[in-house]
Amino acid sequence: MINISQFNSHCLIAAICIFLCSPLPCRAKVDKVIIGSKKFTESVILGEIAAQLIGSNGAQAVHKAELGGTQILFKALELGEVDIYPEYTGTIRHEILATLQLKSDEEIDDALNQLGISITSTLGFNNTYAIGLRQITAQRLKITTISELINHPDLRLGFSNEFLHRGDGWEALKRVYALPQQNVRGMDHDLAYRALQADDLDVMEFYSTDAEISYYNLFALRDDRGHFPVYNAVYLYRSELSDSHPEIVEALKMLEGNISVDLIRELNSAVKIEGKSHTIVAAEFLREKFGITTSVVASPLGSRLMKATFEHLMMVVIGLFAGIIVAIPLGIVSAKKPGLGYFIIGFTGIIQTVPALALLVFMIPIFGIYAPPAIAALFLYSLLPIVRNTHAGLITISSEIQESADALGLRPYNKLLLIELPLASTTILAGIKTAGVVTVGFATLGALIGAGGYGQSILTGIRLDNYALILEGAIPAAVMALAVQFVFDLIERAVVPKGLRLKR
Amino acid sequence: MIQLHSVSHSFQSERVLRGINISIADGDTVILIGPSGCGKSTLLKLILGLIVPDEGQVLCFGEEVCDNNIYAIRRRIGYVIQQGGLFPNLTAAENIVLMAKQADWSDDIIERRLHELSELSAFETRHLKHYPVQLSGGQRQRVALMRALMLDPEILLLDEPLGALDPMIRYDLQVDLRNIFRELGKTTLMVTHDLAEAAYFSDNVVLMREGKIVQRGSIAEMINNPADAFVTRFINAQRGMAMGVNYRD
C-alpha cells in the first residue's frame, strides 16, 4: 500500500513538474549575462557594479539582486541560472568547498575549474567575519578578544542562520574558543543589528566592512586565535564566459584590486545609512573610479508595483491552479478508497510541515531558481487544504443521499458528477479559498530565490530598515489575498447549486 | 419476481437476518412489519444489491443479484425511503427525471411522463421547479414516489415512506398511495412499523422479529391464529393504546 501511494504521488509530482515547466520559458541562452547577488547590501552593491560595468561595455547585463544565501547562489551558478556573482574566498573554502579541506586560497582556482567555474583576483578588500558587541558593553565587561567571552556565559548571542550552520561559523568558533554560551539564536543579519541596538542581544557576528559597525558604535572583538580565514572579495563566473564573452570577463577583471576596505565601507554606508539606492551608488562608483557613465533608471512606484503584482500573480495562479487540478482528484480518491486516502492525506500533511524555506531549497536542484521552484512549492502547499476539504465534503454526504443515488441505478461516475461533487462544492471551495490565501502569503517567500513578487520589497525593506518598502510589499499582498477570496466568492455563486444556498 | 433463499446477514458481527426465505409474486403488495431493528430495511437493501448477503441467494426477475446486472436491476425497481432521499442540489423536476435523462429519453417523453406522474401523485406542477428545501415533508415524499416511478419499474420498494410525516398529511398520503398501488398493480414491498397502516394496505403481511420471519398472512389471521406469543404481544402493544383510552367526557 505504501509503495503504491508513494509511486502514485511521485508520478503525480513528476507530471506536475512537466506541466509547470512547459508554459514557462526556460532561460534562453541569448546574449544576456545574468549577475546574481546575495541578500545583503554589500553583495547587492558588488552585483550592481558588475552589471552596470558589463552593461556599459555593450553587453546586455541583468542584475538579479538578493537571490538568497551562499548555497542558493552557488547552486544557481552551477546550474547556469546566473553567470556571475560576488563571493568571498573564505566562504568558498569553508562553506562551498568545505568537503575538500583546501589548505590555502591558491587551491581554490583548480577546485572551482573542475566545476566549470572561474574566479577573479581579489577586488582589494577582506570582508572577514568578526564577533562583536556594543562598545559600552565591551567596556563594561572589559573584554577585547573573543577568548575573553569564556568568562561571560550568560551573554545573549544572535547570529545569522547561515553563520550558525556554515563550516567556519558558530559551531567551529565555539570549539576553537571553548565558548560556554547556550543562549544562541538564529536571526536575520540586518535585524540582529537592530536587536543589538535595542539591547535585546549582546553579541552578534559582523562582516568587517558593515557600515553599521562605526555608525552604531560597535566593537569587533579580536580573533586572537586566528579562527576566521581571509574573506577576500572576488567574483565567481561560469568558465564558458571566457570563450563566449571574453569582453565580459575583461570588464570584470577591471574591478580587481580597485575596491579598498575604506571604499567598500563608504559604499555600504551610502546605501545602508544614507539610504541611497544601490544602483545610484554603483553608478557613482563607476564614474569616479573609471570615468564610466552609466544610465541608471530609477523605476517609479507604479511600475515596480505592476511588475511585482504580475510576478506574484503568476506564481499564485499557476501554483494554485495546478494544486486544484491535482488535489480535487486526490481528494476524491481519498474519499472513495479510505485505505489509500489515509496515505494521501498523510502525505500532503507531511508536505505542509516542511518549512517553507527548506521546501524552496529542495526544489532548486529540480527547477533551478526564480519562479519555477516557488511555483512548485506553492503547488505542494495548496494540496492539503483542497485534498482535505474535498475528502471531508464527500464523506459527509448523508447515507440516505448515497443510498438513493445507488438505488436509482446511477453509475459511480455519474453519481460523483451529478450528486456528490455538487453537494461537496461548498466545502471544496472553502478549501480552495484557504489554499489561495495561504499561497498569496507564501509567495512572498519566493523573493528569497529570485522569484520576485511582493516579497522582494519586503526583503529589501528588512535589509535597509525601510518600513515604506516593507509596506510596499505587505499591503498589496494583503489586498491580493482579499481579492483571491473575493474571486472565489464569485465563483462560489456560480458553482454551488442554488438548492444548497436556499434557506426555507 | 422476488425470491430470497436462506439469506443471512451480519452487520458488525451482529446477525441482522437469519435464514430468511420469502417469495413475492408478480403484482403482490406485501407489507413488512416488525419492531425496529428486526431487519426489515436490510431486506429491502439486499434486494437492491445495496448490501451483499453473507449467505443465501437473492433473486430478482429470476436472476441472482450480482455486480453484472446490478445497474439494470436497480433501474427496474423503484425505491422510496422515509426521508425521501431527494438530492438537495436538484429541483423536484430534476430529481424526478434524473434517471430518464441518463437513459436518454427524449424531452417530449420526459415531459409527458412528468405530467402523468404529477397527476397520479396529486402533486401541483408549480412546485416542480422548487428545490427539496422549499417543499413540505408530504410534498417531498410525493416527489420521491414520482422519482421512483419515473422509469415505470416493475417493482416498488418503500421503506417507511410515511414514517416521518404529520398524522394529517400521513393520512392523505396513505389514501393516495393505496390508490396508486391499486391503479398501477406493481409488485410492491413496503416496510412499516404501524399495524393499522399494514392492515390498510394489504392482507399479505410479513411479521419479522430479530432477523427472522415469524408469521405471514393478514393481520386478522395474526390476531386469530398467532404463530407464537410474540405475535400477540406485538399486536396488543399497538392496539393497546387506542383501545385503552377511555373516551368518557
Number of domain units in chain B: 2
What letter represents residue B78's amino acid?
Answer: G
Q: Check if the beta carbon of residue A66 is closer than 8 Å to that of residue A38.
A: yes
Residues B146 and B164 in one domain: no
Residues B65 and B112 in one domain: no
First to last CA, chain A: 46
* Contact between chains at A400 and B85 (C-beta distance less than 8 A): yes
Residue A385 has pLDDT above 80, yes or no: yes
- Look at residue B114 and tell me if it is in a domain: yes
- Look at residue B174 and tell me if it is in a domain: no
Residues 6+ apart with CB under 8 A from A356: A377, A381, A442, A445
Give pLDDT, residue A504.
Answer: 53
Residues B109 and B230 in one domain: no
A129-221 topology per CATH? D-Maltodextrin-Binding Protein; domain 2 (3.40.190)
* Contact between chains at B74 and A408 (C-beta distance less than 8 A): yes
A361-371 pLDDT, tens digit per residue, is 788 778 877 88
Query: Angle at Cα A252 formed by Cα A248 and Cα A253, nearest 5°?
Result: 115
Residue A256 has pLDDT above 80, yes or no: yes
Give pLDDT, residue A272.
Answer: 84
Residues B216 and B204 in one domain: yes
Where do the CATH 3.40.190.120 domains begin and end in chain A? 129-221
Residues B163 and B51 in one domain: yes
Q: pLDDT-based confidence at A449, cuts 50/70/90?
A: confident
Instruction: Tell me the β-bridge partners of B209.
Output: B212
B37-91 pLDDT, tens digit per residue, is 888 889 999 999 898 889 998 898 888 888 888 898 999 999 999 887 899 999 9
Reduce the DSSP state of residue A398 to 3 states and report it. coil
Residue A295 has pLDDT above 80, yes or no: no
- Look at residue B82 and tell me if it is in a domain: no
A201-240 pLDDT, tens digit per residue, is 999 998 888 888 888 889 989 888 888 888 999 999 999 9
Residues 6+ apart with CB under 8 A from A73: A36, A37, A38, A67, A82, A85, A87
Residues B164 and B244 in one domain: yes
Q: What is the mean pLDDT of residues A292-298?
A: 74
Reduce the DSSP state of residue A203 to 3 states and report it. strand
- Look at residue B177 and tell me if it is in a domain: no
DSSP string, A29-72: -SSEEEEEEESSHHHHHHHHHHHHHHHHTTSEEEEEEEEESHHH
- For residue B161, give how far its alpha carbon lies from the nearest alpha carbon of chain A (Å): 13
A33-126+231-290 topology per CATH? D-Maltodextrin-Binding Protein; domain 2 (3.40.190)
Residue B51 sits in a domain of what CATH number? 3.40.50.300
Name the nearest CA neighbour of A49 among A224, A233, A222.
Answer: A233
Residues B50 and B110 in one domain: no
Where do the CATH 3.40.190.10 domains begin and end in chain A? 33-126+231-290
Low-confidence ranges of chain B (pLDDT < 70): 240-249
A122-152 pLDDT, tens digit per residue, is 999 998 888 999 999 999 989 999 989 888 9
Residues B109 and B58 in one domain: no
HSE-up (13 A, CA, CB side) for residue A313 = 11
Name the nearest CA neighbour of A20 among A468, A303, A372, A471.
Answer: A372
Q: pLDDT-based confidence at A20, cuts 50/70/90?
A: very low
ipTM over 0.95: no
* Contact between chains at B89 and A401 (C-beta distance less than 8 A): no
Residues B164 and B60 in one domain: yes
Residues B51 and B165 in one domain: yes
Residue B57 CB neighbour total at 10 angstroms: 12
Which residue on chain A is closest to B83 by alpha carbon? A400
Q: Select A4-23+300-500's CATH number: 1.10.3720.10, 3.30.1120.80, 3.40.50.300, 3.40.50.620.
A: 1.10.3720.10
- For residue A386, give how far its alpha carbon lies from the nearest alpha carbon of chain B (Å): 21
Q: What is the mean pLDDT of residues A14-29?
A: 43
* Contact between chains at A499 and B85 (C-beta distance less than 8 A): no
Q: What is the mean pLDDT of residues A417-424?
A: 94
Q: Check if the beta carbon of residue A453 is closer than 8 Å to that of residue A444.
A: yes
For A403, the closest of B50, B77, B132 (CB atoms) is B50
- The parent domain of residue B210 ranges over 1-76+155-169+184-249
Residue A1 has pLDDT above 60, yes or no: no
Residues B200 and B131 in one domain: no
Residue A16 has pLDDT above 50, yes or no: no
Q: Check if the beta carbon of residue A208 is closer than 8 Å to that of residue A126.
A: yes
DSSP class of residue A454 equals: T
Residue A502 CB neighbour total at 10 angstroms: 13
Helix or strand run (H / E) with residue A110: helix A108-113
Average pLDDT across chain A, whole number: 86
User: In this structure, are strands B14-24 and B2-11 parallel, antiparallel, or unpaired?
Assistant: antiparallel
* Contact between chains at A499 and B48 (C-beta distance less than 8 A): no
Give pLDDT, residue B248.
Answer: 47
Best interface-test mutation with B: which of A400, A403, A406, A408 has the largest number of B CBs within 10 A? A408
**Which of A51-55, A150-154, A178-182, A355-359 is predicted with the least confidence, judged by mean pLDDT?**
A355-359
What residues in A contact B87, CB-CB < 8 Å?
A: 401, 404-405, 418-419, 423
